[in-house]
Structure 1
Amino acid sequence: MTRYPTQGNSETQPLEQTAPSVPATVRERLSPVVMEIYAAGDFHRVDMRTIAREAGMSFRTIYRYFGDKESLLFYFIQYWLGGLYPAALKPLDGDGDLRSKLLGVLKLHFEFYEKNPNVGRIIFMTVPLERWMRDPSYAQRELMLRMLKAISDAQQQGELRYDLDSRLILDMFNAIFNRAFLMWEYRRRSYSLTAQAELLLSVLWNGVIANKPPAKSTVEAAVKKASARKTAAK
């Protein structure tokens, strides 16, 4: 998972608006090669000519659609994540408590990366974050905004601590997920990542759950204060 998007930032617009129109035959031919090379190597040592050679394609063809190796990789990250999104949004739909929804989101992510560990290696270990953060594929705008809304709603209903910025809670959720994948990879995938979801979420949940339902006036004051902080931060 990635960070929450910033409202009004053109860099966080969905990738579909900026991605090159790549023929399916080109995409399917390149996808396994790009995944294998980037998952196994150093981003800075990868070059497009090697990718072209391994894929049995001309360098000119790849350059025509992507321009450089960063655009090539970021395009395929978004393509691979098509197997995760929008499925990861489903737990946020409908009724139910926030804890169950977050657990559903976390499990779907863990299941995806257990089945596609090379995608995880590329996203969490290979990609230079400073460069990726400038690309539209980093924000995962729809998921982050929906999760922020779910967290904010739970705060207003007294389910979560109202003295915490909703973005901080989301950041902690993302941090737990990112660290869990890295340690799973470091420990050579010796256990089920998905099986850790319940325990990991409980660590976060125990820190953000409201001790008792606050008075409505107190919640409203906290919401206004949080809104003022966000406005001042823009």
Structure 2
Amino acid sequence: MTRNTDAKAKTKGPTPFASERIIPDHLRDRLSPVVMETYAAGDFHRADMRTIAREAGMSFRTIYSYFGDKESLLFWFIQHWLEGLYPASFKPLEGEGDVRTKLLGVLQMHLEFYERNPSVGRIIFMTVPLERWMRDPSYAQPGMMKRLLHTINEAQRQGELRSDIDSRVVLDAFNAIFNRAFLMWEYRRRSYSLSAQAAPLMSILWGGIMAPGKRQDSAPPLPAKAPARKKTVK
């Protein structure tokens, strides 16, 4: 799902999805902080493109000519922001090592990303209208998900993970961790380190997906308590 953010030219003619549009760098850079602040701090339905245009110091017509509506605007920027997460967060899947270590590495990098970028997390997990976002390719991230699913399938074939569970169920359970972990971190006012939750969460998931005979206690010991994290104002 990655795209070339260095492209300068406009897309010729309309495209079916926001994620396929090419936006000039200067326009992207001026809009990005405004779009992030607008959608992270408020209700999606109260946001409007005219206010965003005014805050970004550009004309409404300019924004409209590229995006058409506020949904396309938000979906495009979600994909742009996630370039800081993908494909880097899937590097733990490369090379040798057991699947538990690989999945823990992926989970760790996701939680670290959202801890560094809480506004992106708020938009993805709390603000964006999911039913509408599901219509846009930026939601599915097929390339990334296929890569993770391949790792799960291989681990099932090699006897590391339970083969009596559909690999897609394992994938869904793994992805669901990001959602719940972030929501509770926000609800609890970011009073602890989000990234420090990776090992405990992986331990819980591993207990349900590991193949029979795999010892749960063979994993590295978990920290007694996640270290507190000072709240920073974004």
| Residue 73 (structure 2) pairs with residue 76 (structure 1) | no
Does the 8 Å contact 1:15/1:137 carry over to 2?
no
Runs of at least 4 residues off by over 6 Å: none
Does the 8 Å contact 1:15/1:136 carry over to 2?
no
The aligned residue for residue 101 of structure 1 is 102
Q: How many residues align?
A: 200
Does the 8 Å contact 1:98/1:150 carry over to 2?
yes
| Residue 59 (structure 2) pairs with residue 58 (structure 1) | yes
Higher percent of residues as helix: 1
SS in structure 2 of the partner of residue 197 of structure 1 = helix
Gaps of 5+ in 2: 4-16, 215-234
Matched AA of 1:101 = K
State the shift of 1:140 in Å.
Answer: 1.3
The aligned residue for residue 46 of structure 2 is 45
Instruction: Report the aligned-residue RMSD.
Output: 1.3
Q: Distance in 2 between matches of 1:19 and 1:71?
A: 10
SS in structure 1 of the partner of residue 191 of structure 2 = coil
Does the 8 Å contact 1:66/1:72 carry over to 2?
yes
Q: Distance in 1 between matches of 2:102 and 2:26?
A: 37
State the shift of 1:15 in Å.
Answer: 6.8
The aligned residue for residue 11 of structure 1 is none
Q: Distance in 2 between matches of 1:84 and 1:104?
A: 13
Structure 1 residues 61-89: Cα deviation after superposition (integer angstroms, max 9, x where no partner): 00011111001000000000111111011
> What are the equivalent positions in structure 2 for 1:189-228 lying under 5 Å apart?
189-212=190-213
Does the 8 Å contact 1:133/1:139 carry over to 2?
yes
Q: Distance in 1 between matches of 2:151 and 2:107?
A: 14
Gaps of 5+ in 1: 1-13, 214-234
Q: Percent identity?
A: 72
SS in structure 1 of the partner of residue 211 of structure 2 = coil
| Residue 122 (structure 2) pairs with residue 133 (structure 1) | no
SS in structure 1 of the partner of residue 23 of structure 2 = coil
Q: Distance in 2 between matches of 1:188 and 1:212?
A: 40
Q: Distance in 2 between matches of 1:48 and 1:108?
A: 33
Structure 1 residues 130-165: Cα deviation after superposition (integer angstroms, max 9, x where no partner): 000110100111111011111111111111111000
Matched AA of 2:192 = Y
